[in-house]
Amino acid sequence: MLDVRVYGDPVLRKRGAVVTVFDDKLRLLVKEMIETMVEEDGVGLAAPQVGESLQLAVIDATGGEKPPIVLINPEFTYHSEETATNEEGCLSLPGITLKVTRPVFVSVKAQDEFGNVFNIENADGLLARALQHETDHLNGLMIVDHVSPLQRKMLSGKLKKMAER
């Protein structure tokens, strides 16, 4: 299992590099990320969370019912105006859940681990939320960046402790 990086690790704040080589090394990383996501009971896991600064994430919003989605070099092609607020957690912020407001529907264009381009049209619910949460990680963003300054202030003690570990 891969080691999941926690808040305070600088790799979580870097924008991941675009993936250009789709080789066995990449596919091994994908496999290990999926295993780690399952082991940690996560809905998604982004490469920066395991110390790899790449535009790569894996998502399972179905609780293991469907094969995980491998999301490489994702780009949103649609965000709905309509938003919803829901609790989100993050493997890199253990013990913290925050109410995050995001568009309800999104469409995304991405590549799989073989470089094939695919589209996810009008995703909603947990999948839409996971697509946005994981893509945030690829841009160096985390759920704490979505909350009000007051909420962040209330969290600052916890975050400081986390960053010092």
Q: Which residues bind Zn ion (CB under 5 A)?
A: 90
- The encoded tokens of residue 61 equal 């919003």
Minimum distance, C-beta of residue 21 to Zn ion, in the bound complex (Å):
25
Closest CA to 76 of 7, 162, 139, 1: 139
As given in the structure block, the two tokens for residue 64 are 């293991």
Tell me how far, at minimum, the Cβ of 133 lies from Zn ion, in Å. 6
The single-letter code of the amino acid at 165 is R
Order of strands, edge to edge, in the sheet holding 117-123? 44-46, 56-59, 69-79, 106-111, 117-123
Tokens of 82: 């309509």
> Nearest to Zn ion by Cβ — which residue?
90
Active-site residue 65, yes or no?
A: no
- The smaller minimum CB distance to Zn ion, of residues 90 and 110, is found at 90
Provide, rounded to whole angstroms, the least separation between the CB of residue 141 and Zn ion.
10
CB of 104 to Zn ion, least distance (A): 19
Per annotation, catalytic residue among 52, 88, 113, 134: 134
Question: Which tokens in the block code for residue 162?
Answer: 């986390």
Q: Which of 136, 134, 6, 160 shows the shortest CA–CA distance to 71?
A: 134
Active-site residue set: 134
